[in-house]
Structure 1
Amino acid sequence: MKIVLHTYGSLGDLHPYIAIALELKARGHQAVIATAGFYRNKIEAAGLEFHPVRPDFPTDVEQQRELVRLIMDKQNGTEYVFRQAILPYVQETYADLMSAVRDADLLVTHPLSFAGTPVVEKTGIRWVSSILSPMSFLSAYDPPVVANFPSWLNLRILGPGFNGALIRLAKNQFSSWDEPLRQLRTQLGLSPLADSMFEGMNSPDLVLALFSEALATPQPDWPKQTCITGFTFYDRNGDTGLSPELASFLDAGDPPIVFTLGSSAVWVADKFYLESAKAALKLGYRAVLLVGNNNPSLPKELQSKDIGVFDYAPYSELFHRAAAIVHQGGVGTTAQVLRSGRPMLVVPFSNDQPDNAARITRLGVGRTIDRDRYTASRAAKELDRLLREPGYQAKAAEVGTKVRAENGVKVACDAIETQLKKDKNPTFHRVPASPV
């Protein structure tokens, strides 16, 4: 059958769906990734079908950097994503996605697929929604850690009653952001939804939570139709594995500390890699710095045979060879570190990263430093604890065993195939918004 998977965002938002699409294709289905045209070459190189869906990303390097800077802003990054990067284009997204699902049997949506619900309502197509990180559930029982909240504010000790009221207040604020979506629904003759940006994004039949139970367990206020699959891993860049230079570096000495900022925060690294190199030298450890394609080289005083600077490496081939990993806390990177069984230091920027960092700390497999406080001395101090206290090593190894035993791709595809066996629902039932 034809299955369309719609996603938008960084590689952390794309890779889980490529993993699922490849398995669906191996099972004999026609899997189509519908996303920004920016990713066409990567998707087609993986042997998958591609359908462009607006909005696209800028092609100019400086415009890309500015976009990431706005998205990663601690105070306003999440608001920018909703109000500037996605929702103003929801009519174009809807038109492109309607084209993508023509003759399709099922649609899989990303948490930011705001056009997905209207497409389902207009077409009656079978629908599976998905969540990449636990924060998206906004649970009063497992409250999120938000980037612009004070670091001392611990909502977990306040209880679900207080947290539920706080989340409702937050949703009321968010409701002012979705005017483009309300306009689209009016133009399409669809009734307004009570909560179009949150519950409205959840399929009434199946919500795939594409993460491990090591990161979060089901809560009473999660959608009852949620299936936790485990992580769905993919990290290829064409056919490229470890570069010969990186492989040689790893073979030449003790396991290094790996420093990475994923595929987005790397664009706004500032002094992260400079301070990281200093921290590694201070500790007497070798280091691998994954700096992307647009970062300057280290100053001469920090250039050393023990500091390897590389643009990219597949995490699945690198992390298990590290002593520890320092990263930005994106859920895709976090998943790969958990699978590796190595302890981690998280330096969260924005969006779901602070929440992922808090979960890692509570799990006992890592520690956290605020992005604005990341210096060589602080990083060295935190890394010294991770590397010397056996509890972190033991817990990371234990969780790594659990994550490696999961098969998120299989569980997700089995659940999708179950939905494919169901009849289409020509009438899509949603609770309408109150007229008051």
Structure 2
Amino acid sequence: MIEDMLRTPAAVQDSERHTAHNYHPLPVVITSAEGAWVTDVDGNRYLDCLAGYSALNFGHRHPTLIAAAHAQLDKLTLTSRAFIHDQFADFCRELAALCGKDLVLPMNTGAEAVETGIKVARKWGYQVKGVPAGQANIVVAEGNFHGRTTTIVSFSTDSDARADFGPYTPGFRIVPYGDLAALTEAIDEHTVAVLLEPIQGEQGVVVPPEGYLPGVRRLCTERDVLFIADEIQSGLGRTGATFACEQEGVVPDMYLLGKALGGGIVPVSAVAADADVLGVLKPGQHGSTFGGNPLACAVATEVVRLLATGEFQRRSAALGERLHAGLRGLLGKGLVAVRGRGLWAGLDIDPALMSGREACERLMERGVLAKDTHGSTIRLAPPLVITEEEIDHAVAQLTAVLAG
């Protein structure tokens, strides 16, 4: 039988044999990729509409980024921050300029960036705002996803991420996302920061109500509180602007960046803020052996330069309109809600029809890869290099899946 000749079933079993089961991936085993497409071990091609949760904003193996990585691999990959290397200054300077901030602190993962932001905000609160020692609090939103370290899950409202990982880190206050009145009530004289995703990704690409982010900005300014924007998924071109905050006319005190910053090649994250905020850190108070390493900086500098042209932001805005127009056409035809901005969409499938997992499995069978979340919701986040024809193809396959 043909099925007996396929490599995928055995490869799936083999991948599960010696790993902790902290993920439930779709049964596809990818071996190569180019642009917006991936190929599995059996030679099947799939349109990648997840893009590594925005880590692959520039597609798989973008030639400029691959060239930068190859060139750096032949010279220098790691020094630790005990020494300075020749790629560091360009990366920090150019990323700071892209963000409109004075300083950058490079790390590796998104969760590290969030942890760094929390530490900096607390230290700023004690040293600059004058909060009594050990009394700082940070206000966060329900439905947040900022990572999975023990501190971060302490203020998660997702039971899968949080349950059985206590005791939990204190110092956080959780309010409903989009509720400015609740946020106002939660802030007191010991509040040092408000930490928010401008658009909540894991929750299902939830866009806040109009006026919410500007209201948060005004409130933080009035109360002498840092506004920290977690743009790890929403930033770097995903929503049709460099940062999702831009589309609300908002400039936070601190950006948390990651995912796309590494170009889908190396893990790179960063915190960007002005000197009166990031300047509270002194040598020995925070760091990372691999943070800001030469290979990471070489790749990430080219990412920043790609974004500096504005091309990818414009593509995301224009192609996002096409994507969302196609998805809105499916409302009442299997979809009950469509949310998002730019090339980022959260789709709520009629739960009477199928689950989000089932929808993703059926899309996979039709050559499109997506990811489910929270039961009947699926997320689409294709690479910004996707074409109009490929967007239309993805929508056509989703239409066929919903039609049964």
Q: TM-score, normalised by structure 2?
A: 0.29
Q: TM-score, normalised by structure 1?
A: 0.28
Flag the structure with higher helix content. 1
